[in-house]
Amino acid sequence: MNKNFKAICLVFISMWMLCSCGNTTNGGAADEGATVSIPNSAGFTANIEGKVVSLFVLKNESGAQVAVTNYGGRIVSLLVPDKNKQFKDVVLGYENLKSYQKKGEPFFGALIGRYGNRIAKGMFTLDGRSYQLELNDGVNTLHGGFNGFFSQVWDAKKINDKTLELNYFSKDGEAGYPGNLAVKVVYELNDDNELKISYTAITDKATVVNLTNHAYFNLNGAGDSTITDHLLAIYADGYTPVDSTLIPTGKIDPVAGTPFDFNTATLIGKRINDDDQQLKYGKGYDHNYVLRKGNGLQKVATVSSPKTGIVMDVLTEEPGLQFYSGNFLTGEDKDGKGQMSYPHRSAFCLETQHFPDAPNQPSFASTTLKPGEIYKTVTIYRFSVQ
């Protein structure tokens, strides 16, 4: 590694940690009287290649809680109040670390990098040089390869009861990506029941970066059989259609007059089985929306459950939003929290992002990060009741 860059990284990380004076205590159960609880932290205590894995619980003044493991930076549980003031765990996940390490596990709650979503044939060219990535999704690369950020042990520091800082150093050549990349992600659960995720990264060589989180939500409560009864609004005029391998064609098509139009809140299940080729390719919704927004943090989507009254707003600085309707969940996996299974379309994902395959699509916003630049973006999942 370049000595100058190493020195810069040490200074950069030190600056991140100046405000970090908290401890690393693990979490416990939900408040007495709550309908659900956080998984036992003992199931997440391990040592992987010399790095300690733990479960960290953040809690705000209203009693909402989020549990995060530094294995993959995964959101394990997220407890928020419903219309009856009972807590619901609205994120799918497992009760122990071992389950998250299974081959084919669907990225439950994970931090995704270096590049969220797909890159066609796992190839791109940058500064005149071609790079070949790991092909872990048929002929394409998905979510960073076989051992992306979702399977790495992050350095964790619990800043205070509401804030967790995670750091990871991705070496030059890891999974085929160029450049040493220093990444920081901060989870913060504030008293407005907002889960704020702040991403920061620097590199010593030009590379591509597209970070996101892959939480699977069900506002009826994790383990409920469906999300097709949820109302969804996405504030977007267009989306990026895909080919049969779910790689964008490079076009931006209007959502108006199609099953992809959620500008008015609509039941997720209303048009999900329409005779539409794009829906057939994704076996439902698994598409990137071109958000109707300017620069800065703005609300881009709202989801609500008529059953529980829980409302989730999504705010982001990113230009895109991947809406995935849980089409590849099967219910065959019986080791969900409380031995629950997670059947077909029992969760949705709203992944804030730059566009899939942007390194190969000149018309899409660039995802290139160069030395001297700082990658910074913020996403908020805000919960309320109606």
Examine the residue annotation and report whether 174 is marked as an active-site residue of this protein: no
Residue with tokens 């999504």: 314
Peptide bond into 129 cis (omega under 30): no
Q: Report the SS3 class of residue 108.
A: coil
Residue 153 DSSP label: B
Q: Please give the angle made by the CA atoms of 249, 251 and 211, to the nearest 5 degrees.
A: 75
Q: Please give the angle made by the CA atoms of 242, 289 and 286, to the nearest 5 degrees.
A: 50
Q: Which of 174, 317, 318, 351 is catalytic?
A: 351
Do residues 352 and 114 make contact, with C-beta atoms less than 8 angstroms apart?
A: no
**Cα–Cα distance for residue pair 316/146, rounded to 1 Å:** 27
Q: Which of 246, 72, 46 lies closest to 148 in space, CA to CA? A: 72
**Cα–Cα distance for residue pair 94/91, rounded to 1 Å:** 10
| β partners of residue 314 | 301, 381
Q: Which of 90, 72, 69 lies closest to 81 in space, CA to CA? A: 90
Q: Which of 214, 230, 287, 354 is catalytic?
A: 214
Examine the residue annotation and report whether 351 is marked as an active-site residue of this protein: yes
* Sequence-ordered list of residues with C-beta below 8 angstroms from that of 317, at least 6 positions apart, any chain: 295, 296, 297, 298, 377, 378, 379
**Cα–Cα distance for residue pair 177/130, rounded to 1 Å:** 10
First to last CA, the chain: 53
For 240, the enclosing helix (H) or strand (E) is strand 236-240
DSSP class per residue in 44-89: G-EEETTEEE-EEEEE-TTS-EEEEETBTTEEEEEEEE-TTS-EEE
Do residues 175 and 130 make contact, with C-beta atoms less than 8 angstroms apart?
A: no
User: Which residues are catalytic, by number?
Assistant: 214, 351
